[in-house]
Chain A
Amino acid sequence: DVKVTQSSRYLVKRTGEKVFLECVQDMDHENMFWYRQDPGLGLRLIYFSYDVKMKEKGDIPEGYSVSREKKERFSLILESASTNQTSMYLCASSRGAGFQDEQFFGPGTRLTVL
């Protein structure tokens, strides 16, 4: 089974702090994604990556950056955390080019910015 792990389940940070959320997948998937999930809004795509060192902006990239130095690891960075970035963050992976296939999700990180 594909396993996607995220570095923290719960995180509390202060406004202005730099925040790192890490995600690791163990099935050699090409694609990796970062979403945030807020009540009533569903999952919104922040960034995705279809190859090592490649990244594409999603629908809400402002205030975020990403890093993918290794195929299995995709990091989300909040350069200067703000209270409106309090949310559930979900990482996902999928197989890759040519596949209209499902995404496998991690357990999520619930981030609170005070």
Chain B
Amino acid sequence: EDQVTQSPEALRLQEGESSSLNCSYTVSGLRGLFWYRQDPGKGPEFLFTLYSAGEEKEKERLKATLTKKESFLHITAPKPEDSATYLCAVQGNTGGFKTIFGAGTRLFVKA
């Protein structure tokens, strides 16, 4: 069964304090791993898609990496506006268009 586990559940950082969020997954044939950002009271907003181990993508202070078992979302020198819940999701070969989401990591960045 496809599964996604994110850690930690919550992360509190000082502004400028770099860190990483973890997404561990098991899937029958990875078609894509997705990262989303969700602000309180809003729908998730797409950040990245990673397709194969070794792939990396960057956007401003965020960098996503992928191995065969996990993905990391690295946040470099975060700012308070980076505070949000970050969701990881996977799509496998056996689920059609089904995407399995993790429970998310809530990030708080204090000025």
- Residue from the set B4, B44, B89, B102 with the largest chain A CB neighbour count within 10 Å: B44
Number of interchain pairs (Cβ within 8 Å) = 56
Q: Which range contains the number of B residues in contact with the other chain? A: 20 to 34
Determine if B43 and A107 form an interchain contact, defined as CB atoms under 8 angstroms apart: yes
Q: A100 and B102 in contact (CB under 8 A), knowing A48-B97, A105-B44, A108-B41?
A: no
**Does the CB pair A100–B91 fall under 8 Å?**
yes
Q: Is A62 an interface residue (CB 8 A)?
A: no
Query: Is A108 in contact with B42, judged by CB distance below 8 angstroms?
Result: yes
Q: Is the CB of B97 within 8 A of A106?
A: no
Chain A 65-114 residues near chain B, CB threshold 8 A: 90, 92, 94, 100-108
On chain B, the residues within 8 Å of A27 by CB distance are none
CB–CB B32/A4 < 8 A = no
Inter-subunit contact A50/B45 (CB<8 Å): no
Complex CA–CA separation, A106 to B31 (angstroms): 24
CB of B21 closer than 8 Å to a CB of A: no
Chain A residues within an 8 Å CB radius of B34: 102-103
Asked if B46 contacts A42 (CB within 8 A), the reply is no
State whether A4 touches B104 (Cβ < 8 A): no
List residues of B whose CB falls within 8 A of some A CB.
Answer: 4, 31-32, 34, 36, 41-46, 49, 51, 87, 89, 91, 96-99, 101-104
- A45-B99, A48-B97, A105-B45 known, 12 other contacts, Cβ within 8 Å: A33-B99, A43-B101, A50-B96, A90-B43, A94-B97, A102-B46, A102-B49, A103-B34, A103-B46, A103-B99, A105-B36, A108-B41
